[in-house]
Amino acid sequence: MNLIFVKNYEEMSEKAYEIVKKILIGKKNATLGLATGTTPLGLYNKMIEDFNLGNVSYKNVTTYNLDEYVGLSTNDEQSYTYFMRTNLFNHIDIDLKNTHLLDGMAKNMNEACDNYNKMLEKADIDVQILGIGGNGHIAFNEPNEPFDSVTHIIDLTPKTISDNARFFTSINDVPTRAISMGIANIMATKSIILLASGANKADAVYAAVKGDISKNCPASALRNHKNVTFIVDDAAAAKIK
């Protein structure tokens, strides 16, 4: 794995965009795997800034998102579809038809999972962007998730629910289940960039980089990927430096 140390969130976002831009320039019809949360926002801002400068186009780009809360509609401000539209898609020239997100309101969740897995089999994602949970989760694959999992429904752990409560009016409003790509789907992508910023990620980064490759830390699975880059800022790297 490649491990890149940066000073702070801003540098992390710049470095991530440097890699993403190379892919976008090299392949007009690139396929991006996208994440939500606070971590990738800086990267998305760089993507928008550079698009506004006329340096890149997303006209032929396809995207797949990692996950969605179960029970939130696409218009709910806490849904990841809403997040992606307001924080990225509405500001670039991407065709929304080429953006793929999981449906947290699907009538038949098993069918929604199967359909996403079928799409992912053909997707050939050039680069998957990932954050890391305070408990080492990637997407919503919580500790003890098998490494061969594909898209499925997940019960969120109390740690993830409390970490994500900051986005909701009350912790009781945080959905307790999510629909998420599995670890095997993530491992099938051509390259991966995991971003980590802040002291609250230091334990998870330590477990992912220096701990055993084990289900206790889903992000540790990434060490078996042939092309994975961790971009970690000073605070998140405190325990591995």
Q: How many residues does the chain have?
A: 241
Which one is catalytic: 65, 135, 164, 185? 135
Q: Which of 132, 174, 179, 228 binds ligand PGA (CB under 6 A)?
A: 132
For tokens 């945080």, the residue is: 174
Q: Which listed range, 43-51, 81-89, 127-135, 231-239, lies at the site for ligand PGA (CB under 6 A)?
A: 127-135
Nearest-approach distance from CB 39 to ligand PGA, in angstroms: 3
Q: Which listed range, 1-9, 56-64, 129-137, 233-241, lies at the site for ligand PGA (CB under 6 A)?
A: 129-137
Contact string (CB under 6 A) for ligand PGA, positions 36-75, x = contact: -xxx------------------------------------
| Binding of residue 33 to ligand PGA (CB under 6 A) | no
Measured distance CA(177)–CA(70) in Å, rounded: 5
Q: How far is the first Cα of the chain from the last one, in angstroms, to the nearest whole number?
A: 16
Nearest-approach distance from CB 236 to ligand PGA, in angstroms: 10
DSSP code, position 141: B
Measured distance CA(43)–CA(15) in Å, rounded: 9
Count of H helices and E strands in the chain?
7, 10
What kind and span of H or E run contains 194? Answer: strand 192-196
Which one is catalytic: 65, 68, 137, 164? 137
Backbone φ, ψ for residue 20 (5° rounding): -65, -40
Cα-to-chain-centroid distance, residue 121? 18
User: Smaller CB distance to ligand PGA: residue 77 or 124?
Assistant: 77
Give the binding site for ligand PGA (CB under 6 A).
Answer: 37-39, 131-133
Q: Which residues are catalytic?
A: 67, 135, 137, 142
